[in-house]
Structure 1
Amino acid sequence: MSDAPTTLPSDVDAAAAEAANPPQTTISCSRGLASWLAMQGVSFGLTSYQSGRLYLIGHQDGDVVSFHERVFNRAMGVAADSQRIFLADLFQIWRLENILGPGQMIDQFDANYVPRNAQTTGDLDAHEIGIDRDGRVIFVNTKYSCLATPSVTHSFKPIWKPHFISRLAPEDRCHLNGLAMSDGAPKYVTAVCKSDIINGWRDRRAEGGCIIDVASNEFVTQKLSMPHSPRLHDGRLWVLNSGHGELCTVDEASGALTTVAFLPGFLRGLAFHGRFAFVGLSLPRDGSFSGLALDAALEKRDADPWCGVLIVDTQTGDIVEWIRFEGEIRELFDVFVLPGVKTPMALGMLDPMIRTMITIEDWDEADRPQPVTG
């Protein structure tokens, strides 16, 4: 045996090796996903800040799942419908427009979302997005612990902050993260806690997570663990109690919590189509996601955590379909539904087609310059 000391690779060496040879991603899905999407007349999308991607999932003829991805650095919150996608990334908020009309196709795709505008905000750690009744973008400005809207001349314009936040500062004090819209206005937000010091939420992850009524500034509940993605749907308030891995409803008057389903992962991203909930799952990571009740819940069920999207029947709590990622993609942020779209695609800024895919809006005689008379 040699007396030479054994040298173990350092963390730096391991990181360099992983950067040179990034892990591959394996994507699997439930056998019935394509036919289920076809039957529901819907497709869906998701974002991952960890991989810096926007993903669009649809279906093709022959029960084939369509999967399309585009690069958006630190892709985060999304507000979307069949014609338009708003997307927050590292320092911008993008507007992507579907350039295809009814019956139009590009290859097998019946929707093509093209970037048409980017509002530069700077790195605000923007989380979820909503669109108000006037078409204005409202976003959760997590770094400054407030709700904000883009400004024509500045990085942002604050429009609301929790009553316990004493001043706007780039300190992510309470980890404000989720936004529920109602009738074109912000209704509820979620925060990890009510801390008013820099990164104070990191010591309050296990309990004290809150839902706040924006209009009244009152707490609906303070009994959650790392809540995310509040939504109003079918007359009920929904939330992801992420530290417990639970999809829940919340009584708006009493704050009472009802668990609809336990899902095996750190939950973030929630969208609805009828009675079905699309829920995003991430792998728990050391630090922010560790030491939560979710760890014990997974151990109790002898289960490993997932990264992917589970489609839940909210009437029964059953998982009806799923898509799962293994490898490079470990964390998701938002999930959204595209009703009436079969096979969506998007253009990214790194796609050569961004330069050549030129479309012309219909001519309008009213826009023709008129001669000056008199």
Structure 2
Amino acid sequence: MNHASNAPGRRRVNQAEAIDYQVTPSFVALLEKLGCSLVITNYQSSTVMTFSSLGDGRPVQMFAAFQAAMGLALAGDRLAVAALSEVIVLTNIRKLAPSLPKFPGIFDGYFVPRVHYTTGECSLHDMVFDASGGLLAVNTAYSCICRIDGIHNFVPVWQPPWISEVRPGDRCHLNGMAVENGEVRYATALGTTDVPRDWTERRLDGGVLVEVPSGRVLADGLCMPHSARLVDGRLYMIEAGTGTLLEVDRVSGARRPIVTLPGFARGLAVHEGYLFIGLSLMRDSKPFEGLPVERIGRELICGLVAVEIASGQVIGTLRYIGGCTEIHDIQVVPGVRRLGISGYDSDTHKLAIDLPELGLWLDPPPDDSQHLKSAMGAPAGAVARR
């Protein structure tokens, strides 16, 4: 997290100035065309970011602090964020967003925290609201898929057949899941090991894609697989260690490479024929040593790419050039063109009174200016570089 220094003689660092980006006009134009916004988690700086277009090619990004933010889940106006030892559910205060006191007329959607679940440190990766509206999460620390029920820390609902017990220790780095009609159908893991962090010894070829609930290994020999997704019945996933987006045959497990991307690819969201994929730089630690993606002959970046499913072509790129080296998860928020967000470090959630038939702001108005970065001309340096 980018903590501001209060030491004498030092200027307080504005979070919106610390995380800087470059974006291609085509990326912004795609958001305008699709009429959507993005939510992005940045684990390394404990930030959840929204990215939108103000129209006329002008990007806008907003920030909220959530400690070690990882997995995201979205259902309608509910957004779940997995943090270090908790899950926070935010709601979109649509009625109030256009009248946000500091930025009237800017936003048509705005997420504020409403519900807080204490989970303990679980390293929650992929999450989803299931068919019943409950929250499922891939619990990497405990090697299981679990339900967040608001009574227990979590309730295990599935674990790989090679895992002998639900205990902490990250035994196989279970990390991703693909959902169809509200049911989990596939999961990804970096190994089939049952010893804490033993998967790191075979990180180059020990990864698997597994059917759920049967536990049958559909594809193996993978290099750090992540982010399995089902799109119109077709199965996609990312082989993060090679930076490759793959389509996987649901019967044979045969893999078809679609595109190789310049980064450790993790986090995948789909909307209207496009995939938004997160890219991260390499960490200086053993699991990231010697990965094939480092030898693709291109500069690695941190950011997002938009890929057209039909052609496999990269349509546009959002690149972070300061304050952000890892992207963890992404969600597309459809029907919201200009999206904002606040966390517990702001009073916005306390001052926004959202009732079924009424919305109003209490005084004093919230000050979220330190969390906004746009191409509106302020703060200085906010104009996106093309």
Could you tell me which residue of structure 2 aligns to residue 57 of structure 1?
A: 51
Q: Tell me: higher relative CO, structure 1 or 2? Use CA pairs within 8 A at least 6 residues apart.
A: 2
Could you tell me which residue of structure 1 aligns to residue 165 of structure 2?
A: 167
Contact preservation (8 Å) 2:27, 2:306: no
- Give the alignment partner of residue 344 of structure 2, picking from 344, 349, 370: 349
Could you tell me which residue of structure 1 aligns to residue 19 of structure 2?
A: 25
Alignment of 1:1-374 (within 5 A): 24-101=18-95, 104-106=98-100, 107=104, 108-287=106-285, 288-297=287-296, 301=297, 303-362=298-357
- Which stretch of the first structure deviates more once superposed, 351-360 or 229-238? 351-360
CA shift for structure 1 position 151 = 3.7
How far apart are the structure 2 equivalents of 1:194 and 1:90? 25
How far apart are the structure 1 equivalents of 2:125 and 2:110? 24
How far apart are the structure 1 equivalents of 2:277 and 2:142? 27
SS of alignment partner, residue 354 of structure 2: coil
How far apart are the structure 2 equivalents of 1:274 and 1:205? 33
Contact preservation (8 Å) 2:274, 2:309: yes
Contact preservation (8 Å) 2:37, 2:52: yes
Instruction: Tell me the TM-score normalised to structure 1 length.
Output: 0.87
SS of alignment partner, residue 305 of structure 1: coil
Letter in 2 for 1:351: S
Q: How many residues align?
A: 340
CA shift for structure 1 position 80 = 1.3
CA shift for structure 1 position 153 = 3.2
CA shift for structure 1 position 138 = 0.6
* Structure 1 residues 359 and 153: alpha-carbon distance in aligned structure 2, compared to 1, 3 A threshold: closer
Aligned-CA RMSD value? 1.9
CA shift for structure 1 position 311 = 0.3
How far apart are the structure 1 equivalents of 2:335 and 2:243? 30
Query: CA-to-partner distance for each residue in 1:159-189, whole Å, 9 max, x for gaps?
Result: 1110000111111000000011111111111
Letter in 1 for 2:345: L
How far apart are the structure 2 equivalents of 1:307 and 1:121? 29
* Structure 1 residues 335 and 224: alpha-carbon distance in aligned structure 2, compared to 1, 3 A threshold: same
* Structure 1 residues 42 and 183: alpha-carbon distance in aligned structure 2, compared to 1, 3 A threshold: same
CA shift for structure 1 position 354 = 2.7
CA shift for structure 1 position 355 = 2.5
Contact preservation (8 Å) 1:144, 1:171: yes
How far apart are the structure 2 equivalents of 1:285 and 1:72? 21
Structure 1 regions of 5+ residues with no counterpart?
1-19, 364-374
SS of alignment partner, residue 36 of structure 1: helix
Letter in 1 for 2:69: A
CA shift for structure 1 position 74 = 0.7
How far apart are the structure 2 equivalents of 1:206 and 1:32? 34
SS of alignment partner, residue 241 of structure 2: helix
Letter in 1 for 2:61: F
Letter in 2 for 1:335: I
SS of alignment partner, residue 28 of structure 2: helix
How far apart are the structure 1 equivalents of 2:51 and 2:290? 33
Query: CA-to-partner distance for each residue in 1:199-256, whole Å, 9 max, x for gaps?
Result: 1111111002111111211011112110000000022100000111101110111111
CA shift for structure 1 position 56 = 0.5
How far apart are the structure 1 equivalents of 2:194 and 2:122? 18
Contact preservation (8 Å) 1:82, 1:341: no
Letter in 1 for 2:23: C
Query: CA-to-partner distance for each residue in 1:81-115, whole Å, 9 max, x for gaps?
Result: 45221111111111111111499553210001111
SS of alignment partner, residue 200 of structure 2: helix
Contact preservation (8 Å) 2:34, 2:272: no
Contact preservation (8 Å) 1:312, 1:320: yes
SS of alignment partner, residue 33 of structure 2: helix
Contact preservation (8 Å) 1:311, 1:322: yes
Identical residues among aligned pairs (%): 34
CA shift for structure 1 position 338 = 0.8
SS of alignment partner, residue 355 of structure 2: coil
